[in-house]
Amino acid sequence: QVQLQESGPGLVKPSETLSLTCTVSGASISTHYWSWIRQPPGRGLEWIGYIYDSGITKNNPSLKSRVSISVDTSKNQFSLKLNSVTAADTAVYYCARGDFTLIVPFDIWGQGTMVTVSS
């Protein structure tokens, strides 16, 4: 049974860097596409970016160059860094599994972790 679990600080100060990790169990992180998705309170879903094949990444153009996604295959984890955060980055952050050969669909999701940007 494949499971994903997000971890990281729940509170980040404005202008600082948000850092989250997704631990994957029950599957190898070397297969499939792995994405980060977020959902601001009371609002819809926004795809942040993916990592694939132990290093190929692509980010949502709307987030410009603020996003960095990396992988640690030895720990079966992938991570998100979002720099220069503002209150608009306050959201529930999910990690999710895509397909073997395509970003979508997202068939397995983590439970999500709430990140608040506030001083």
Partner 1 sequence: QSALTQPASVSGSPGQSITISCTGTSSDVGTYNYVSWYQQHPGKVPKLIIDDVNYRPSGVSNRFSGSKSGNTASLTISGLQAEDEADYYCSSYTNSVIFGGGTKLTVL
106, 113, 115, 117: residue in contact with partner 1 (rule CB under 8 A): 106
11, 104, 114, 116: residue in contact with partner 1 (rule CB under 8 A): 104
Judge residue 43's burial from the number of C-beta atoms within 10 Å of its C-beta, 0-12 exposed, 13-18 middle, 19 or more buried: exposed
- Asked if 110 interacts with partner 1 (CB under 8 A), we say yes
Task: Pick the closer one to partner 1 by CB: 15 or 23.
Answer: 23
Name residues whose C-beta falls within 8 Å of residue 2's C-beta, 6 or more positions apart in sequence: 24, 25, 26, 27, 97, 108
Q: How far is the CB of 8 from partner 1 (least distance, A)?
A: 17
Q: Show the tokens assigned to 37.
A: 């998705």
Task: Pick the closer one to partner 1 by CB: 28 or 101.
Answer: 101
Task: Report whether 98 contacts 10 (CB < 8 A).
Answer: no
Q: Which positions from 54 through 93 interact with partner 1, judged by CB under 8 A?
A: 58, 60-62
Task: Pick the closer one to partner 1 by CB: 78 or 106.
Answer: 106
- Asked if 2 interacts with partner 1 (CB under 8 A), we say no
Q: How far is the CB of 14 from partner 1 (least distance, A)?
A: 25
Q: What is the DSSP letter of 63?
A: G
Q: Which of 102, 118, 110 is nearest to 80 (CA)?
A: 110
